[in-house]
Structure 1
Amino acid sequence: MVVRKEDPTLSDEDMMEDNETGDLYEEESELESESEEDEDVKLAEPSKTSIYNKDGLLDKLGDISWPENVGWIHKLSINIDQEQEVDVNDDSAREGSFSILALKGTRQAFENLQSMGLPFLRPSDYYAEMVKTDSHMEKVKGRLLAQKKQIEEADERRKAREAKRIAKEVQSQKLKERAKQKKEDIESVKRWRKQRQQSGFSKDNNEADEMSLAFEDGKAFERSNKRRPGVAPGDRSGGKARQFGGNGKKGMEKNKKKRDNKNSKFGFGGRKGLKKQNSTETTDDFRGFNKGESTGNKKRKR
């Protein structure tokens, strides 16, 4: 059994250099093999039986070309002479010369058509036939309108949510401000009472009890359950409505006065529907008509 011993004198750097040189040799060998393969490929040689008949080609070109006396409207060809040479290797100069030549040719063609009196522009009322049918275009239009409606509805919902959120924030802010204001008012009242007590203005305990407020103990304001005599529970006028318009003596006197006024104006009842009905005497009585005028067929004065 043979055991390979490594030279302890070789370092890691020497080993890395050996690996790099080995890789370079392998790459060079691969390139040489590829170049040899390329050299081995043989190109196709031109056929020896091909014929270059220049006269025949020119003859065929004359057969398919337009005759010299044909009108320009049949050919529509424009020949533009290039004023100066352009470097074919310069892309920008070459493309610029193409655009200039095309513009000149278009102008010359417009002039030729105008001189011949031929229409060459599309009429304003010309409608080309559509590739797709009307029913298909109606479907496309309906789909576009539906998409537009969905987008608008989504925007409206988003705006509503945003407005609701803003309103909620404003409401919470208002409630916080009210609570803060209430707290400040309570604190100001407490400070005022404390200053009043320190100044010795309120020495009597009864007076201090009268000035005490319900909200100082943390209780909310409560409606008093005391009932005033002669006032109904739901009466907000404090009993005045009963005095002047209710069942009291003053209310009865007022109603009686109204009744007396109506009786003096309209009577005490009875039949009034046939009061102005005509009778035999009133029908034959013409004393109320044609006063101061004699009878006859005289024309009425205007």
Structure 2
Amino acid sequence: RAAATSRRLSHSQYASTTSGGPLQEAFAKGALKPGLNVVLEGRPKQPNDVEGLKQCLAEFRQQLAWVERLDVTLGQLTNVVESVSQNTTDKDAVDPENDFQREMSFYRQAQAAVLEALPRLRKLKVPTRRPDDYFAEMAKSDQQMQKIRQKLKSKQEAMEKSEKAKQLRAMRKYGKKVRRSYKRDISMTRMWSLSEELRN
């Protein structure tokens, strides 16, 4: 019997440490609905612990040289926004719904970051170009790439054949049209010459 009570105690201790706590609180308040569902009243507010976040940041922040970090921070690129949003009223913002504007903004920002980082790297004498004998392992093997090349080549050949067939059909159609008009012209000429002979 003592073992059974110790099991019960350990089970109740376990139940209090698991996720049953919020359900028990809701039951005590009378907020439980049939099926053990708790009706949430709005979204729970997330705490904004600024001091805790700063402390966390200070713990994992490392004071490394720029060459180790390679971070480039840029401000708003106004010429990018102007070039992609000429018809919008707010020239300082990229429309988040316009995929083209957003992608162009990312592209130009990356371009500007590279243009800012390259001189800094050259100043620190960091090589920025690959050597001629550089060999990097590819994501796909040579056999896979060969299969892809063959597939692309056969697809291109099929497209070329299809295009040639279309051109040939168009030429035949045009040839038939020319022959019909030629025959019609000849028959019209014959009829005209016959009518002229009859008049004379």
Structure scoring higher RCO (CA < 8 A, sep ≥ 6) equals 2
Higher helix share: 2
Q: Which one has the largest radius of gyration?
A: 1
Using the size of structure 1 for normalisation, the TM-score is 0.32
